[in-house]
């Protein structure tokens, strides 16, 4: 019998084709997210799981899946998985780094530029026909935005994606500040980035971009006190995880003008629906699509498959997250 893999959402065909050569593959094809109780039922006889975003892979799920040997997360961030619990049980956990770095960094810039230059508001205005209907002459004060070129960008988290964001900032003639748990002398040399305390970075930056993983330490890292340190003209961009920012504090900051705007791809609760940000013109909102390019999505699908196949062949999966698991159980 071939091992069974459940894929919880549709992913590009290239990954599924590879998987089908080695596994019995079941894909949850429904438009709706797989309901938790259905997921708990479906995992009963699976050997491996391809999962993503907000699906909680916790002790309860692992209890429901006695045969589960590997969880391949279709994402670089794996805060949805209780990795410690998985390791204890000898379950391998993998993620999809690198293949989505450039796409996500590009998207951080798309949000930054769209927010700075009020692109979404301007698009809505143009489509509405108001430009002609109102009979107001075009004038030089329409849709004034924020300058980007030559300004200061502050990147919180200088991992793979943070560095790729910084590289792009070079082309915009920007001063680059960064904050991370440890200093990165090589990146400082390569990118000309300057280390700052988080507080210092927030005070000095015109654009603050969040690129940290969600951990206990980064939960609500950007809170009321820290938002108050930012310039009134500054823009916050979040392509990391929604819970890195205290949304209530952010709404207050935007309403009361402590900061000028925000470009968000991630939210504390996803899907984000009808929250206070909906009514604000100085925000640009995207539905967690940072890595949604053809290339990145196909790369992620391939990497998920490569990891699973390696595991099946008794090899260590190339992007294994919990290396200690090898002590608990050999792959295969
Ligand atoms: C995923 C992401 O597309 O990689 C991540 O951490 O947030 C995105 O690239 C999304 O989480 C689906 O799993």
Enumerate the H helices of 4-97 as residue ranges. 13-20, 36-42, 59-64, 83-88
Q: What is the dihedral sign for C-alpha 111, 115, 120, 126? A: negative
Taking the centre of ligand 1 as the mean of its atom positions, its distance from the CA of residue 256, in whole angstroms, is 32
Contact 162, 178 (CB under 8 A): yes
pLDDT computed for residue 130 by the predictor: 87
Atom 2 of ligand 1: nearest residue by CA position: 75
**What are the domain boundaries of the chain?**
4-99+294-328, 101-285
302 is catalytic: no
**ipTM score assigned to the predicted complex:** 0.96
Is 183 annotated among the ligand-binding residues? no
Give me the catalytic one of 146, 226, 288, 297.
Answer: 288
Q: Identify the CATH number of the domain defined by range 4-99+294-328.
A: 3.40.50.720
pLDDT computed for residue 135 by the predictor: 74
Residues 75 and 123: their CA atoms lie apart, in Å, by 31
Contact 234, 208 (CB under 8 A): yes
Quote the distance between the C-alpha of residue 198 and its chain's center.
20
pLDDT computed for residue 131 by the predictor: 86
Common-topology check for domains 4-99+294-328 and 101-285: yes
Is 169 annotated among the ligand-binding residues? no
288 is catalytic: yes
The secondary structure of the chain in percent helix, strand, coil, rounded to multiples of 5, reads 40, 15, 45
User: What count of residues does the chain have?
Assistant: 332
Taking the centre of ligand 1 as the mean of its atom positions, its distance from the CA of residue 96, in whole angstroms, is 9
- pTM beyond 0.90, yes or no: yes
| Tens of each residue's pLDDT in the chain, 332 residues | 899 999 999 999 999 999 999 999 999 999 999 999 999 999 999 999 999 988 999 999 999 999 999 999 999 999 999 999 999 999 999 999 999 999 999 999 999 999 999 999 999 999 999 888 877 778 899 999 999 999 999 999 999 999 999 999 999 999 999 999 999 999 999 999 999 999 999 999 999 999 999 999 999 999 999 999 999 999 999 999 999 999 999 999 999 999 999 999 999 999 999 999 999 999 999 999 999 999 999 999 999 999 999 999 999 999 999 999 999 999 99
Kindly give, in sequence order, each residue whose CB lies less than 8 Å from that of residue 79, ignoring residues fewer than 6 positions away. Answer: 213, 214, 215, 241
pLDDT computed for residue 134 by the predictor: 74
Q: Is 267 in the pocket of ligand 1 (CB under 6 A)?
A: no
270 is catalytic: yes
The domain 101-285 belongs to what CATH superfamily? NAD(P)-binding Rossmann-like Domain (3.40.50.720)
Q: Which residue out of 33, 100, 298 has the highest number of ligand 1 atoms within 8 Å of its CB and is therefore the one to mutate?
A: 100
pLDDT computed for residue 285 by the predictor: 98
Kindly give, in sequence order, each residue whose CB lies less than 8 Å from that of residue 93, ignoring residues fewer than 6 positions away. Answer: 70, 71, 73, 78, 81, 83, 86, 87, 320, 321, 322, 325
Write out the H or E segment, with its range, that includes residue 168.
helix 160-171
Taking the centre of ligand 1 as the mean of its atom positions, its distance from the CA of residue 266, in whole angstroms, is 10
Q: Is 291 in the pocket of ligand 1 (CB under 6 A)?
A: yes
Is 290 annotated among the ligand-binding residues? yes
Secondary structure letter of residue 73 according to DSSP: E
């Amino acid at each position: 019998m071939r091992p069974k893999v459940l894929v919880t959402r549709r992913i590009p065909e290239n990954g599924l084709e590879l998987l089908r050569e080695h596994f019995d593959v079941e894909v949850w094809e429904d438009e709706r997210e797989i309901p938790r109780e259905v997921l708990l039922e479906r995992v009963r006889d699976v050997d491996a799981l391809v999962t993503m975003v907000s699906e909680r892979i916790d002790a309860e799920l692992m209890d429901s899946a006695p045969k589960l040997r590997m969880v391949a997360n279709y994402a670089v961030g794996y805060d949805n998985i209780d990795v410690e619990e998985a390791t204890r049980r000898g379950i391998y956990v993998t993620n999809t780094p690198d293949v989505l770095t450039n796409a996500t960094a590009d998207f951080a810039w798309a949000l930054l530029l769209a927010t700075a230059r009020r692109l979404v508001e301007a698009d809505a205005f143009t489509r509405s026909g108001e430009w002609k209907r109102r009979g107001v002459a075009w004038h030089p004060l329409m849709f004034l935005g924020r300058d980007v070129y030559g300004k200061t960008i502050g990147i919180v988290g200088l991992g793979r994606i943070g560095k790729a964001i910084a590289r792009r900032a070079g082309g915009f003639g920007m001063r680059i500040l960064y904050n991370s748990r440890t200093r990165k002398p090589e990146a400082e040399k390569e990118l000309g980035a300057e280390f700052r305390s988080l507080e210092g970075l927030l005070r000095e930056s015109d654009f603050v971009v969040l690129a940290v993983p969600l951990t206990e330490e980064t939960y609500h890292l950007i809170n009321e006190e820290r938002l108050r340190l930012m310039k009134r003209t500054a823009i916050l961009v979040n392509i990391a995880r929604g819970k890195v920012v205290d949304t209530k504090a952010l709404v207050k900051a935007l309403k009361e003008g402590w900061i000028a705007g925000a470009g968000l791809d991630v939210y504390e609760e996803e899907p984000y629906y009808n929250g206070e940000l909906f009514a604000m013109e100085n925000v640009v909102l995207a539905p967690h699509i940072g890595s949604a390019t053809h290339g990145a999505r196909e790369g992620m699908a391939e990497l998920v498959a490569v990891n699973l196949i390696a595991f099946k062949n008794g090899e260590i999966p190339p992007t294994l997250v919990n290396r200690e698991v090898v002590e608990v159980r050999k792959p295969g």
